[in-house]
Amino acid sequence: MRVLVTSSRNTFALDLIRKLGSVGHTVFAADTYEGAVGSHSRFLAGHLTTPSPRFETDAFIATVNAYVEEHDIEVVIPTFEEVFYLAARAADLPEGVRLYAGSFGDLARLHDKASFQRLAQDAGVPIPETVVVTSPDELRAAIESFPRYFARAAFSRGGVGLLTNTGPLAGKVPVEDCVPTVDQPWLVQPFVDGPMVCTYSVVVDGKVQAHTTYKAAEQWAHSTAIAFVAVDSTDTLRYTQQLVDALDPGFTGQISFDFVDHGSDAAPDYKIIECNPRPTNGVILLEADVVVKAIQGELAEPVVAVPGTERQITLAVIADAFTEPLSHLPRTLHDLLHVRDVGAGWWDGAAMLWSPATIAHGAKISHGDRKEVLAALGDDIVWNGEPIDGMSETDAAALEAVHAGRV
């Protein structure tokens, strides 16, 4: 295959590039800035810098199209929320190129946290008690109804912007900064003790091909995972297939879910929180041949990551250590000494040397606009539920249906 991987700034995009390239596929990368880590992998045949899909949609599509035609790209694999812009403009892509993602309507239904809760109910997957609010007054009333709560926007990501009165993020986001609206609602749920459990899956023609279930052994700023350990996939694999069946029996693409485990290691009791209709770092825990065969639909039965498999983003673990109390140091030292880095064995270290450029990109976007760098890192490639320039009437109607289908 001749493959273009977009949003190459992400560690999991770099991992996909390495895995596809290592087994003989010709891989290209794209992002909105030159310093994206994945754009400097030795496994690439080339890379390009594009306009922002969010702020310059027409120019983004035109740039991607020109590159696809110039390099005879067969498959475009999105790795972040540029997937929505590509899916909404799929009819404008060059003839013969395949977008490795679901339809815009399916992706929007998964991404809108409120409509996703309805989908989970329909699929028979357990969800926590949920209140959808569309005004600041409704938000205040909802959080007052729960002794312990957490709330976030229907369109949010990466554990950033959580409103809660419990745990390490308690009080970090003032309620005054949270302004739900009819177009941008928030979800309020009871805070329940228990670890977050995440999944990553490759799905082809409605069937899960490869699947990972993992916990975050370390988190950057108590939100985004930077160290990962695979756990048993029995329950989450079943739930993933149920969700795909309820969504679209013909769905093809990468899909990721977040659960909270209300039970124990011996007897997990999962409740689903949200979906990321794209890859996440769970792909790192799968072997290259499994991921590539899964993407091509070549696996007769789902392959899951082996429980106990561990990986970490070493540079992020080191950086995070400087923000944690001294009592956290033994855990950091243990991970640095014993947990395999995501880049181990690839002999591709030059790519990760561009990591400071990614942080600088986030800092540049966040400058003068009260955003954390972590939130700003993806600000030029996110989608928050608004109509997309050039989308079809069918997709516009699908978006309206998603809004109408919220819990």
pLDDT tens for each residue of 137-179: 999 999 999 999 999 999 988 666 889 999 888 998 999 999 9
Range name among 212-216, 233-237, 350-354, 364-368 with the lowest pLDDT average: 364-368
In this predicted structure, the answer to whether residue 402 has a pLDDT above a threshold of 60 is yes
Check residue 194 and give its pLDDT.
84
**SS3 for 256?**
strand
In this predicted structure, the answer to whether residue 316 has a pLDDT above a threshold of 90 is no
> What are the sequence ranges of the domains in the chain?
2-101, 129-191, 196-308
Distance CA 59, CA 389 (A): 11
* Cβ 22 vs Cβ 15: under 8 Å: no
Check residue 168 and give its pLDDT.
83
β 75-77/2-6 pair status: parallel
Check residue 158 and give its pLDDT.
65
Of 404, 398, 401, the C-alpha closest to 90 is 398
Mean pLDDT of 264-282: 92
Domain 196-308 belongs in CATH node 3.30.160.160: no
Please report, rounded to a whole number, the percentage of residues in the chain having pLDDT higher than 90: 71
Please report, rounded to a whole number, the percentage of residues in the chain having pLDDT higher than 70: 81
* Cβ 303 vs Cβ 294: under 8 Å: yes
In this predicted structure, the answer to whether residue 391 has a pLDDT above a threshold of 60 is yes
Q: What is the mean pLDDT of the chain?
A: 87
Q: How confident is the model at residue 406 (pLDDT cuts 50, 70, 90)?
A: confident
* Cβ 104 vs Cβ 391: under 8 Å: yes
The fold of 129-191 is Dna Ligase; domain 1 (3.30.1490)
Give me the residue label for tokens 């899960």: 208
Token digits for 301? 């039965």
Question: How do residues 376-386 score in pLDDT, each as one tens digit?
Answer: 578 899 999 99
Check residue 78 and give its pLDDT.
98
What is the CB neighbour count within 10 angstroms for residue 75?
18
* Cβ 158 vs Cβ 134: under 8 Å: no
Domain 2-101 CATH (choose: 1.10.10.60, 1.20.200.10, 3.40.50.20, 3.60.21.10):
3.40.50.20
What is the CB neighbour count within 10 angstroms for residue 52?
18
- What residue type is assigned to position 225 of the chain? A
**SS3 for 310?**
strand
Higher pLDDT, 135 or 263: 135
Let me know how long the chain is.
Answer: 407
**Would 129-191 and 196-308 be classified into the same CATH topology?**
no
H helix intervals, 157-296 = 234-247, 288-295
β 26-31/75-77 pair status: unpaired
H helix intervals, 279-368 = 288-295, 314-321, 329-338, 349-352, 355-366
Rama region for 70: left / alpha / beta (φ>0; ψ in -120 to 50; rest): alpha
In this predicted structure, the answer to whether residue 372 has a pLDDT above a threshold of 90 is no
Answer positive or negative: Cα dihedral of 388, 48, 290, 12: negative
Distance CA 48, CA 40 (A): 11
- What residue type is assigned to position 69 of the chain? E
Distance CA 42, CA 406 (A): 44
Mean pLDDT of 76-90: 98
- What residue type is assigned to position 298 of the chain? E
What's the chain's Rg over C-alpha atoms?
20
Check residue 60 and give its pLDDT.
98
Long-range Cβ contact pairs of 343-346 (< 8 A, separation 24 or more): 343/314, 346/18, 346/22, 346/43
Token digits for 24? 């003989």
In this predicted structure, the answer to whether residue 42 has a pLDDT above a threshold of 80 is yes
> 372 phi and psi, to 5 degrees?
-70, 150
Of 2, 1, 68, 19, the C-alpha closest to 279 is 19
Question: How do residues 210-247 score in pLDDT, each as one tens digit?
Answer: 999 999 755 444 445 557 899 999 999 999 999 999 99
